[in-house]
Amino acid sequence: MKYIFLNLKRFDVPTEFGGVNRIAPVGDWGRYIVENTQEQLKKYDPEKVEFVQYFPEAHILGAAAARCENSPVKIGCQSIYRDDTAVGGNFGAFTTNRPASIAKAMGCGGVIIGHCEERNDKNGILAEAGVTDTAATNRLLNKEIKAAIARGMKVLYCIGEKSEEQEAWQEVLGEQLDIGLDGVDKSQVVIAYEPIWSIGPGKTPADKPYIEKIARFVKERTGGIPVVYGGGLKKDNAEMLASIEEIDGGLIALTRFSGEIGFYPDEYLEIIRTYLGE
């Protein structure tokens, strides 16, 4: 099985506000993306490839409503809170937080947890409280993963090392896996590897041997959980990533990195065609 994930981050922000959204008005943005991708994705065998698109919360209802009958597109959200509602328990005292129950009720079947941007946020909050132990962040993410799976959602769990952590990559990634997946039903998880040190303008992308090495390590450490490349599946690296036996797919974000940068559905579909060779 191959997995193609789409992290739409905050690509909904219009350009006049400093964002990269040139494709649709904010109110129509989620619907527009689903409607302009699902028909073209129907040509792929659902037994061989899975497509999940992770939306900011404001767009989940529109995206879910836009799914046609037998749509190949699955809707996901961008992380959840570590606690949830329960009959006879907390019925909704979650101001500013998104419990798994509402994500599920809105139509989400999946969630992305532990993305480097989420990790940075949690690390920063903990640092303000004087906590610098990275295990604390992994424990919080573990609770999120368990809450999502308990609500019947599949999890894309992101791991990765920073430049200053590269020499100790086995310890860093091992801790993220061991603590993050402690007590978790691993059959409901896919791992996304983000080489944080190689992501961004002016940085050298991770090469094939390095990605192969990490993917083998993750599969050995987790007992064979599927691994996708989370450092950005794009047209430039799609063929290379497709040639790595240990990699089971990729995470797409931006599709255009120069000029009018941003996410464009037609370019997203082109990346998929290149990766899958169809």
Task: Give the residue numbers marked as catalytic.
Answer: 115, 194
CB 83 within 8 A of CB 145: no
CB 102 within 8 A of CB 79: no
71 DSSP 8-state letter: -
Spatial separation of the C-alpha atoms in residues 126 and 119, rounded to whole Å: 10
Helices (H), 112-198: 116-128, 134-150, 169-180
Q: Shortest CA distance to 111 belongs to which of 46, 32, 55, 48? A: 55
- List residues bridging with 7 in a β-sheet: 54
Please, is 276 exposed, middle or buried when counting C-beta atoms within 10 Å of its C-beta (0-12, 13-18, 19+)? middle
Q: Shortest CA distance to 23 belongs to which of 269, 128, 32, 194? A: 32
DSSP E strand boundaries for 123-239:
154-159, 189-193, 227-229
